[in-house]
Amino acid sequence: MKNTKDREDKIMKALSTAPHGLWVREIARKAEIDKSTASRHLEAMGEKIEFEFLGRNKVFRLRQS
């Protein structure tokens, strides 16, 4: 079973390839994890990422330093 750090690293890698941002489903697909798992990790990574609503969906991207 994968640990939290591995999953967060995969999410960060997925987001780094898309400066315009990704939906949760796209992040999950690129990180090869379940959508609900991706969503849970994204909520926990609040200081590293940002999001905006595009219609009813959240678009996540890496937080600009």
What average pLDDT does range 2-11 have in this prediction? 91
Buried b / exposed e over 22-54, threshold 16 CB at 10 Å, is bbbebbbebbebeeeebbebbeebeeebebeee
The range of the structural domain enclosing residue 17 comes to: 4-51
Residue 56 lies in a domain: no
The per-residue pLDDT for range 8-54, each reduced to its tens digit, is 999 999 999 999 999 999 999 999 999 999 999 999 998 999 999 99
Question: Under DSSP, is residue 54 helix (H, G, I), strand (E, B) or coil?
Answer: strand
According to DSSP, the residues that pair with 50 across neighbouring strands are 61
pTM of the model: 0.90
Residue 62 has pLDDT above 90, yes or no: yes
Residue 65 lies in a domain: no
Domains of the chain: total = 1
Question: Under DSSP, is residue 48 helix (H, G, I), strand (E, B) or coil?
Answer: coil
pLDDT at residue number 2: 65
